[in-house]
């Protein structure tokens, strides 16, 4: 079952019979959002280029969003990772970039579609413009701007692929193959959950290591040429963090839990 906002609960109580779709719009409203990598995405630019656009409206705290995010990612890869006939966007409801990043790294899987947060990336305004009242809501917009699918639900990779196939949207090999990432180039961190000390093993030296809280604030930061690090996290509050390693222009992240 989808997670309803308080507004949606009120609407459902007063006019449930009139809710036939999660967005009542039949024609797209233009928007520009900024994804977690700092890239802007303008809807009408994609449509003017002849693209279909498939949007995942979600909230970082939503349970059903967590279960369907990896399914959305599978279809994103099956249809060319935004290099084919359809562009995929994930647009969050109210979270910060840090909260949205934590959601994506925890649930969406490797190399997910571009995601814009609600608070920092402009997603909140898009949710409001489209009248999104339940999460997740998946819609499909055709190149004319018509919202041809107002609520793709239930949603999994097979169902979404079937919807795209019904519009003769072709599959395409993704130029970013997550299976081609060399495990030897990844960093490791243990133990997870951590208590007082966190061990980090880097594939190469010459890296910047950062630990961020869910507000996106750096609580630890260091530059090192060593490949084996010990981070003292004893004074940090318990909770969820993001460990980020920047090396030779490459950025890798891992979710870390601190317990006592």
Tens digits of residue pLDDT in 49-94: 999 999 999 999 998 998 899 899 999 999 999 988 999 999 999 9
Distances (CA, A) of 158 to 18, 31, 165: 28, 29, 10
Which residue, 194, 169, 211, 196, is CA-closest to 80? Answer: 169
Q: How many CB atoms lie within 10 A of CB 34?
A: 17
Q: pTM for the whole thing?
A: 0.66
Residue 172 lies in a domain: no
User: 119 and 203, same structural domain?
Assistant: no
Under DSSP, is residue 86 helix (H, G, I), strand (E, B) or coil? strand
Q: Residue 72: which CATH number?
A: 3.40.30.10
pLDDT for 10? 37
Burial of 255 (0-12, 13-18, 19+ CB in 10 A): middle
Under DSSP, is residue 52 helix (H, G, I), strand (E, B) or coil? strand
Distances (CA, A) of 208 to 147, 227, 243: 44, 11, 11
User: 225 and 140, same structural domain?
Assistant: no
Size of the chain, expressed as the number of residues it contains: 260
Which among 166, 198, 228 is the end of a domain? 166
Tokens matching residue 145: 């701007």
pLDDT for 14? 33
Residue 174 lies in a domain: no
Residue 191 lies in a domain: yes
Residue 256, strand partner residues:
241
Q: Which residue has the higher pLDDT, 254 or 175?
A: 254
User: 136 and 190, same structural domain?
Assistant: no
Residue 219 lies in a domain: yes
Q: Per residue in 64-100, is it b (16+ CB within 10 Å) or e — as a string?
A: bbbebbebbbebbbbbbbbebbbbbbbbbbbbbbbbb
Lowest mean pLDDT among 87-91, 221-225, 246-250: 246-250
Whether the pLDDT of residue 20 is over 60: the answer is no
User: 219 and 132, same structural domain?
Assistant: no
Q: What is the pLDDT of residues 93-124, one digit of tens each?
A: 999 998 999 899 888 888 899 999 999 999 99
Which among 166, 195, 211 is the end of a domain? 166
Q: What range does the domain containing 60 cover?
A: 3-166
pLDDT for 92? 98
Residue 24 lies in a domain: yes
Split into its structural domains, the chain has a count of 2
Residue 71 lies in a domain: yes
User: 159 and 202, same structural domain?
Assistant: no
């Amino acid at each position: 079952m989808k997670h309803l906002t308080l507004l949606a609960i009120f609407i459902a109580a007063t006019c449930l019979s009139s809710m036939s779709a999660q967005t009542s719009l039949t024609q797209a409203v233009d928007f520009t959002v900024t994804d977690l990598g700092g890239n802007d995405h303008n809807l009408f630019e994609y449509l003017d280029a002849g693209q279909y656009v498939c949007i995942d409206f979600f909230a970082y705290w939503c349970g059903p969003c967590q279960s369907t995010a990896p399914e959305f990612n599978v279809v994103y890869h099956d249809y060319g990772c935004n290099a084919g006939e359809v562009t995929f966007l994930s647009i969050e409801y109210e979270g910060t970039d840090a909260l949205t990043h934590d959601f994506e790294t925890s649930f969406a899987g490797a190399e997910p579609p571009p995601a814009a947060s609600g608070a920092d990336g402009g997603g909140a305004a898009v949710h409001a413009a489209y009248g999104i009242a339940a999460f997740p809501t998946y819609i499909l917009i055709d190149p004319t701007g018509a919202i041809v699918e107002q609520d793709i639900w239930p949603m999994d990779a097979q169902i979404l692929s079937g919807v795209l196939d019904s519009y003769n949207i072709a599959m395409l090999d993704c130029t970013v193959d997550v299976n081609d990432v060399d495990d030897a180039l990844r960093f490791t961190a243990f133990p997870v959950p951590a208590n007082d000390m966190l061990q980090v093993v880097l594939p190469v030296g010459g890296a910047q290591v950062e630990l961020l809280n869910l507000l996106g604030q750096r609580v630890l930061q260091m530059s090192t040429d060593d490949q084996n690090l010990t981070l003292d996290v004893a004074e940090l509050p318990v909770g969820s963090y993001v460990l980020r390693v920047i090396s030779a222009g490459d950025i890798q992240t891992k979710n870390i839990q601190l317990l006592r």
